Amino acid sequence: MNRKLTTKQKKELREIIIAFVLLVLLFANEHLNLVPVLNDIIWLRLVTYLVPYFLAGRDVVRRCFLGIKNGQIFDEKFLMTIATIGAFATEEFCEAVAVMLFYQVGEFFQGYAVGKSRESIQSLLEIAPEYANVQREDGSIEVVDPDDVEIGDILVIKPGEKIPVDGTVIEGFGLINTSALTGESMPREVKTGDSIISGCVNGENLLKVKADKEYDDSTVAQILELVESAASKKSQTEAFITRFARYYTPIVVIGAAMLAFIPPFFVGNFTEWMLRACTFLVISCPCALVISVPLAFFGGIGAASKVGVLVKGSNYLEMMAHLDTIVSDKTGTLTEGVFSVSAIHPAEGFNEDYLLRMAAHAESTSTHPIAVSVVKAYDGTIDPADVKDVENVAGKGLKVAVAGKVVLAGNVRLMNDAGIVLEDKDIIASGTCIYIAIDGKFAGSIEVADSPKEEAVRAIAEIKREKVSNVVMLTGDSKETAAKVAAELGITDFRAELLPQDKVAVLEEILSSVSNKEKERVAFIGDGINDAPVLSRADVGIAMGSLGSDAAIEASDIVIMDDNLERIPAVIRIARKTIAISKTNIAFALTVKIACLILGALGIANMWVAVFADVGVAFICILNAMRMLKSNS
Amino acid sequence: MKKKFKLENLDCAHCAQKMEDAINKLPDVEECSISFVASKMTIIADEEKMDAVVEAAIKEIAKVEPDCTVVL
């Protein structure tokens, strides 16, 4: 125990220790007969045992009576009180005190463990700014609550301070640490005019920021809201516990009542059977499950937020553990959004090299990303003297004289305007394509495509290692381009030539092809900007690179704060660990409890075992669930 | 209207469940959820009735766990 205890805990611990010492002394006296008078007069013996009993357990007794007054019988306190009173009644003084003491020790550890897990969760959420420095018109600086910052206020953010609300830098530059939000350890560079996001920590320099949003609308408040309310969307595992408790509790209470009243009719010894019934009830308390399973899920959600992934509910975390198929949008998600030439289709009578050379010369006059990619694909040198009479046709393309020939490079409309009719086979319906005409004759087309993100290749390999059976790429590109990109990414399954509105249908088809809907979940990854319907149709919608984008956060179930795909396998691992811990806890707690219940009914398990089965099991389960809070994957 | 409260001395998880059930049965409560782990209660109710609802909720909480208090 390295953490400090609260005052309340210290007091409890002190009382437990004193009560324990007293009990040992009394026990020794009983067996060695050091002070015979205490053993000989029964009421004196009772009184001496009642001292440690009340020292350790007076709160339990008090709560028992308060419970009765409020109509809440059959809670743990009630059961413990009845059980120990029963032990006193049968003159088992030592056992009565010991059981109460043991119960309190268990409660103490349980309380400590819960407090500690709460602390770890709080520290995961330590992104909330405590104050904001607002610069007033007269230049004075007022420290206010972030809630009181108004849109347009000028905020002064000193080095090391948290950015209180979303805003724009109006003075200063420097590095800000976004790791609390994104899990990204590299600080982000900001300068005047850049927008910055609340919850990040300012680096070494002073920044002046104009508030763009109120605190409640700022990223940090939204994230906190999400994570805190995530627990209310319950996973199936949690729902199982609730359902289970609904049948379990009445069955156990009826069982205990039968145990207390039926056997004594035949064999007598009412007190003995009453005690067995109490033992039975103490064992049965479902606390271990009720605490540890939600705790594991909360811990899992916390661990995910630590690596920059917001999971909007326990149910989504659970689905991540059962992923069968990941469907991903291509552009901007799997690829950089930076173009390179992927295919060259020369028309009849032209060859590839000639087409590319002419196109590269024409495009060398433009700085458009597509133009740059064409120039880059050309190996030879471009002689600027060959390029003349550049005419930029807005929204359509270029008209350039290259080595004495008129080259048109642009889209279909540019061709049509020049009276060049393209046949159907010449038109590349999807993807990004530049059509080239030379001296009024169609010469072919050049297709450009995005290059895959480096981390996407790694992420997909890792996702496959996590035994997600399918990764499907959706794209508007032509089949050839799509096949090429997919191969580079290590993806075998792709759907090409899709129009944006086709994506939902494709997803539907994939969803319906899954055989076991409970165990084989389908996730969709997109940038959240124009694929909101797909995001919401998938079992799990994952939005990428959406820090500060409200729409994406709204539409998706899981938000990856930076746009690093490698967070996905990390979340899958976190989810699997959460499920594994929950299942272990359920299996362990139920096995121990059922075994003890049977032993208790047979009279083999006494109150000691009962207290272990209740508090001990809860404590062990909580410790197990706490592993989730410690994991840094 | 949605309101959030911090709960102090919420020490028992199935008590939290009991409180949640009891508060959800109150008239005028649209939805109530209590997170044991976060020690937080969220109540959704009509704005005009909110004060009365919160008062009734506090009573329900005291019934289940006398030591548990709502930070207003």
Pair A151, A213: CB distance under 8 Å: yes
Q: Is there a contact between A228 and B35 if contact means CB atoms under 8 Å apart?
A: yes
**pLDDT score at A251:** 85
Q: Using DSSP, state whether A335 is helix, strand or coil.
A: strand
**pLDDT score at A524:** 92
Confidence category of residue A529, pLDDT binned at 50, 70, 90: low
Does A606 or A517 have the greater pLDDT score? A606
Confidence category of residue A548, pLDDT binned at 50, 70, 90: low
> Which part of chain A is CATH 2.70.150.10?
132-161+165-217
Confidence category of residue A291, pLDDT binned at 50, 70, 90: confident
Confidence category of residue A545, pLDDT binned at 50, 70, 90: low
Lowest mean pLDDT among A117-126, A162-171, A480-489, B58-67: A117-126
pLDDT, one tens digit per residue, over A387-443 is 888 888 777 788 888 888 888 888 888 888 888 887 777 776 555 788 899 888 888
Pair B18, B12: CB distance under 8 Å: no
Radius of gyration (Cα) for chain A, nearest Å?
35
ipTM of the modeled complex = 0.77
Q: Both tokens of residue A438?
A: 């030379």
Residue type (1 letter), A609: V
Q: Is there a contact between A294 and B37 if contact means CB atoms under 8 Å apart?
A: yes
pLDDT, one tens digit per residue, over A327-351 is 998 877 888 767 778 788 888 888 8
Pair A575, A313: CB distance under 8 Å: no
Report the alpha-carbon distance of residue A190 to residue A376 in Å, rounded: 31
> Which part of chain A is CATH 3.40.1110.10?
336-451
Q: Is there a contact between B33 and A298 if contact means CB atoms under 8 Å apart?
A: no
Among residues of chain A, what percentage have pLDDT more than 90?
14
Domain tally for chain B?
1
Longest dimension (CA), chain A: 125
Does B10 or B13 have the greater pLDDT score? B10
**pLDDT score at A550:** 65
- Catalytic residue (one of A153, A166, A329, A557): A329
**pLDDT score at A1:** 40
- Mutate which of A12, A58, A75 to disrupt the B interface (most B C-beta within 10 Å)? A75
Q: Does the pTM of the predicted model rise above 0.90?
A: no
A with B: how many residue pairs have Cβ under 8 Å apart? 53
Report the alpha-carbon distance of residue A230 to residue A622 in Å, rounded: 20
**pLDDT score at A50:** 93
Lowest mean pLDDT among A58-62, A364-368, A556-560: A364-368
Q: Both tokens of residue A615?
A: 């508090």
Residue of B nearest to A285 (CA): B14
Domain of B29, in residue numbers: 2-71
**pLDDT score at A229:** 66
Report the alpha-carbon distance of residue A76 to residue A460 in Å, rounded: 50
User: Is the minimum CB–CB distance between B2 and chain A shorter than 8 Å?
Assistant: no
CATH T-level fold of A336-451: Calcium-transporting ATPase, cytoplasmic domain N (3.40.1110)
User: Is residue A145 annotated as a catalytic residue, yes or no?
Assistant: no
- Is residue A472's pLDDT more than 90? yes
**pLDDT score at B23:** 93
Q: Is there a contact between B14 and A286 if contact means CB atoms under 8 Å apart?
A: yes
Q: Is there a contact between A298 and B37 if contact means CB atoms under 8 Å apart?
A: yes
Q: Both tokens of residue A326?
A: 């990941």
pLDDT, one tens digit per residue, over A429-462 is 555 788 899 888 888 888 887 778 888 899 999 9
User: Is the minimum CB–CB distance between B31 and chain A shorter than 8 Å?
Assistant: no
Residues 6 or more apart in contact with residue A534 via CB below 8 angstroms: A329, A503, A504, A507, A524, A526, A541
How many CA atoms lie less than 13 Å away from A328 in the CB half-sphere?
A: 26
Confidence category of residue A121, pLDDT binned at 50, 70, 90: low
**pLDDT score at A269:** 82
What value does the mean pLDDT of chain A take?
83
Does B50 or B39 have the greater pLDDT score? B50
Q: Both tokens of residue B40?
A: 């937080």
Chain A residues with at least one Cβ partner in B under 8 Å: 63, 66, 70-72, 75-76, 111, 114, 117-118, 121, 228-229, 231-232, 242, 245, 285-287, 290-291, 294-295, 298
Confidence category of residue B9, pLDDT binned at 50, 70, 90: confident
Confidence category of residue A87, pLDDT binned at 50, 70, 90: confident
Alpha helix segments (H runs only) across A268-399: 270-284, 287-306, 314-321, 352-363, 369-377
Pair A543, A556: CB distance under 8 Å: yes
Q: Is there a contact between B11 and A114 if contact means CB atoms under 8 Å apart?
A: yes
Q: Using DSSP, state whether A422 is helix, strand or coil.
A: coil
Which CATH number belongs to the domain containing residue B30 in this structure?
3.30.70.100
**Measured CA distances, B51 to B30, B47, B48, B58, B67 (Å):** 14, 8, 7, 11, 22
**pLDDT score at A633:** 42
Alpha helix segments (H runs only) across A125-188: 179-182
Question: In angstroms, how far is the first alpha carbon of chain A from the final one?
Answer: 24
The highest-level CATH class for domain A132-161+165-217 is mainly beta
Average pLDDT over residues B65-69: 84
Confidence category of residue A52, pLDDT binned at 50, 70, 90: very high
Q: Are strands A540-543 and A521-526 parallel, antiparallel or unpaired?
A: parallel
User: Is the minimum CB–CB distance between B58 and chain A shorter than 8 Å?
Assistant: no
Q: Is there a contact between A118 and B37 if contact means CB atoms under 8 Å apart?
A: yes
User: Is the minimum CB–CB distance between B59 and chain A shorter than 8 Å?
Assistant: no
- Mutate which of B2, B11, B12 to disrupt the A interface (most A C-beta within 10 Å)? B12
Average pLDDT over residues A464-487: 85
Confidence category of residue A2, pLDDT binned at 50, 70, 90: very low
